[in-house]
A and B are shown apart, each in its own frame.
Chain A
Amino acid sequence: MLEIKALKSAYGRIEVLHGIDLSVSSGEIVTVVGANGAGKTTLLKCLSGVQPVIGGSISFRGETMTHVPGHKRLKRGLAQSPEGRQIFTNLSVEENLRLGAFLFTDARVDQDMAEAFQMFPVLKEKRNLNAGGLSGGQQQMLAIARALMGRPACLLLDEPSMGLAPILVAQIFDVVKGLKALDVTVLLVEQNAFGALSIADRGYVMETGRVTISGSAKELIADPRIREAYLGH
């Protein structure tokens, strides 16, 4: 579904991604793990069109989208929940969800919203409140629910567990795992390698702008190098 080939990107003249190869097949949950500064977020920024690509290509559902402007990517089925949640704090929960469906004006929007509320009952309770008043975990749920309102085929998630209490982290990973049942393919970027690998099908490990190890999530969890570097064993 998503094919990234020899992707390079730079901030100014400093190259930070040195040729990334990565693929996600339909229905998979694929995770990219790595330490701070490994280039995970830059990779996602390239995918969402915020960060310019200077080499290589991105293709999605068979079409090249390397240079498609960011706001047109959702229309093609690629949704994103950006780092730091980035919900609209000055708008109500319901307005946030409606914005997620900005591209659609049909009756399915209300139906999608009802489903989002079913998935996250706490959002229904607070639908008329300012999203800024939600707790961190609730904001993350809202960010995911909002991305789903765009009816994506593939969802990019950037550090959904960041800054959350351990019990909420588990909850969020459960939610991500549940996306499989909705036929949403997921590319999950995480620092929490253990949590991410335990719900993913496959994983990539990034270090300083390169993919150093890749394989099935089971293999990676068992790999001594990864246990050493990221899992704290």
Chain B
Amino acid sequence: MKLGSKHTTLLVLAVIIIVAPFFFPSSYYFRVGSLIFINGLAVTGIVILTGYAGQVSLGHAGFAGIGAYACALAPVYLGVHPGLALIIGALLSGAIAFLVGRPILRLKGYYLGVASLGFGILVAMLLTNEAQITGGPDGIRVADLGIRGLLREMGFRVKGSELWYVLTGICLLIGAWLALNLHDSPTGRALRALHGSEVAARTVGVDVARLKLQAFVISAVFASVSGSLLALQNRFITPEVAGFLHSVEMVTMAVLGGVGSVLGAIFGAAILTTLPQVLTVFAEYEYAVLGLVMMLVMIFLRDGLLPSLAKLIKGREQ
């Protein structure tokens, strides 16, 4: 199996999404599943920005925050449907990414990391401090998307957890499809080229600044939609969604799973979403073990879990 190939990746993803529920002992697992898909969507955006274009962002949770709070606030203040609020959030995130990205994408490496980190913190502070509008650190209720009610009227009774499993699964598939299409398009090639060498990319006529900005905006929209879905599923959201930890989590998931491949990064999201649940057996040492696992993966499997495993299996076969 070639990891990069588009159709294999989509097929594998679709099969896993469809087959997994047959092994779910309780509806709790549907919830974990949809959480994986939501994280997977954000991480797919990170793959475009970091895996393809080689730019680091430690502030992408800021965009997730914008998406989440758009779904919480737009229905209240603008009277729009929560579904439309998701789109408004995505557009707003894209626009803000466009404005913020321009100056900060001139920076490279850890300078860019720190600048983007600043942006994420700014959004989190804003959401925490403007308590009159956002509800402050205690969080805020989010309106019902209304799909379940609609289905009930049509005579279908579905559990909320199962519905969200399907919805987020579809969103992830669409996101992965978009990212994979981008990979092999001229734009995707140019992104991967400037990752390798900006000087050389410029010599073949690539507008490096514009392309980096494009990748930044696209990945911001992915993060925003992921934040929106989280808010709509939970029906409640706190400023933590925009927090520094969430930003780091996104990057960690992507790098752990393999930031160069969509499937790898989603795999990373799955691991880091489920591992804390599994590691509860270690009680208070849970996060210590998690940290240890992450260090070991980075030391021994630098390309990320999935690409390294694939290489290992390939090596055996030959």
Contacts and interface: CB of A to CB of B under 8 A. Distances in A.
A86 B197 CA distance: 7
A71 B202 contact: yes
* Interface core residue of B192, B193, B203, B204 (most chain A CB under 10 Å): B203
30 contacts: A49-B202, A50-B199, A71-B208, A74-B203, A74-B205, A79-B203, A81-B203, A82-B199, A82-B203, A86-B197, A86-B200, A87-B196, A88-B193, A88-B197, A88-B201, A89-B196, A90-B195, A90-B196, A91-B193, A91-B196, A95-B189, A98-B186, A99-B193, A102-B190, A102-B205, A102-B206, A146-B204, A149-B204, A150-B204, A150-B205
B205 A71 contact: yes
Interface string B175-200: 00000000000100110110111011
A75 B196 CA distance: 22
A219 B36 CA distance: 72
A48 B200 contact: no
B199 A99 contact: no
Contacts of A49: 202
Interface string B250-261: 000000000000
B130 interface: no
A49 B205 CA distance: 11
B51 to A, nearest CB: 11
B207 interface: yes
A74 B197 contact: no
Nearest to B188: A95
Contact-residue size bin, chain B (C-beta under 8 Å from the other chain) = 10 to 19
Q: Which 7 A-B pairs have the closest CB atoms?
A: A86-B200, A88-B196, A74-B205, A80-B203, A103-B205, A70-B202, A71-B207
Given A86-B203, A88-B192, A88-B201, 12 more contacts: A70-B202, A80-B203, A82-B200, A86-B199, A87-B197, A88-B196, A88-B200, A89-B196, A98-B189, A100-B204, A102-B186, A102-B204
Contacts of B205: 71-72, 74-75, 102-103, 150
* Interface core residue of B199, B201, B202, B208 (most chain A CB under 10 Å): B202
Contact of A105 (B186, B193, B202): B186
Nearest to A156: B203
Interface of A: 48-50, 70-72, 74-75, 79-82, 86-91, 95, 98-100, 102-103, 105, 146-147, 149-150
Contacts of B204: 74, 99-100, 102-103, 146-147, 149-150
Contacts of A74: 203-205
B188 to A, nearest CB: 10
Contacts, number: 70
Contact of B203 (A48, A91, A98): A48
A90 B195 CA distance: 9
Given A71-B207, A74-B205, A103-B205, A87 B200 contact: yes
Nearest to A91: B192
A90 B192 contact: yes
Contacts of A72: 205
Contacts of A100: 204
B184 to A, nearest CB: 9
A99 B189 contact: yes
A88 B203 CA distance: 12
Contacts of A91: 189, 192-193, 196
B173 to A, nearest CB: 26
A72 B207 CA distance: 8
Contacts of A80: 203
B32 to A, nearest CB: 34
Contacts of B202: 48-50, 70-71
Interface in B105-163: none
Interface string B207-230: 110000000000000000000000
B143 to A, nearest CB: 45
* Interface core residue of B189, B190, B192 (most chain A CB under 10 Å): B189
A146 B196 CA distance: 15
B36 to A, nearest CB: 28
A99 B204 CA distance: 7
Contacts of A70: 202-203
A105 B186 CA distance: 9
A69 to B, nearest CB: 8
A89 B205 CA distance: 18
Contacts of B193: 88, 91, 99
A222 B80 CA distance: 82
Contacts of A71: 202, 205-208
